[in-house]
Structure 1
């Protein structure tokens, strides 16, 4: 449980730091994801959802593959 909380906190801090004061919630550092398709293999369900939100908020698309 502590590991999941630490990962969620790290993702939140990263998103807040990259979003800065931009009212759209997008930042220049995340702009590279716009119109990109990201394929993410593995990961944890909670992390996958958080990463998907980041990618999609930057205008990208994410597909998760569980490795099976």
Structure 2
């Protein structure tokens, strides 16, 4: 399943919760402590990053969901 991950960088405080809960290690923290996508093609659109983010900085758009 292809998905798009949107990160609102202004909201991200770099807590790393999304990184810790990602079962496919799709996300990582950069040298500035902000999250970024490192393996986007491996994303299974489980939504754990979006669900766990305390600052509502991550959104997962599952392919085809917007068209419904």
The structure whose residues are more often helix, as a share, is 1
Pair in the same fold by TM > 0.5: no
Q: Which structure is larger by alpha-carbon Rg, 1 or 2?
A: 1
Q: Name the structure, 1 or 2, with higher relative contact order (CA <8 Å, separation 6+).
A: 2
TM-score of the two chains, using structure 2 as the length reference: 0.30
TM-score of the two chains, using structure 1 as the length reference: 0.30
